[in-house]
Amino acid sequence: MSRRSPRFRAFVIVIALAAIAGGVVLGVTLSTGSSGPTKAQYVGRADAICAAAKAQTTSEIKQIAASAASLASGSQASAQKLATLLQQLHTATAADLARLRALAQPSGDHAAIERFLKPLGSVVHALSEAASALRGSQPLQALGLLEQLQPTAQQLTSAARAYGLGACSQLLSALP
């Protein structure tokens, strides 16, 4: 075996220590989230999702409001049409909620963002439940679920506005 010079061993040790230190610094940086977005970046990304969602769902929301008004007539065709519209809206809003939840959040802002996302999750759930109630011939239960959306939508709007999410605060503005 060849013997390495003391200088070579010292060089290898310095390289090894540098690699270990670099790994520790990288690990600390990743675990503290310092590479996360700023609030302005998050707001920009979230508002872009909300603006697209609003453009996609405003027409459906208006159709749902019109169909819900005719639901009192007891027509099974009206109930099925409304169930279909509610399911379409549920699918779209669930996808939008998933996109919002997937956004990296600024460090320390999780609670404020969750005050906006939690009511949106409640809206998504209520839409699914109302569609199921209509398919199950329970129009009164469906109407009750839809009526309960208004205060939840107001919570969503207030929380979004408080965080600075302009487009997201208008997400459900088409609700009657």
Residues in the chain where the model's pLDDT stays below 70: 1-35, 72-75, 174-176
pLDDT of residue 52: 93
Q: Residue 175 has what pLDDT?
A: 67
Q: Tell whether 75 is covered by a domain.
A: yes
Domain presence at residue 175: no
Residues 24 and 66 reside in one and the same domain: no
pLDDT at 94: 94
Question: Which tokens go with 79?
Answer: 């109930």
Please indicate, yes or no, whether residues 159 and 85 belong to a single structural domain of this protein: yes
The predicted pLDDT at position 137 comes to 84
Number of domains making up the chain: 2
pLDDT reported for residue 76: 74
The pTM is what?
Answer: 0.74
- Tell me the residue range of the domain where 4 lies: 1-35
Identify whether residues 60 and 107 lie together within a single domain. Answer: yes
Confidence at residue 11, expressed as pLDDT on a 0 to 100 scale:
40
Task: Specify the pLDDT at position 93.
Answer: 92
Say yes or no: 4 and 49 in one domain: no
Q: Say yes or no: 30 and 46 in one domain.
A: no
Does any domain span residue 176? Answer: no
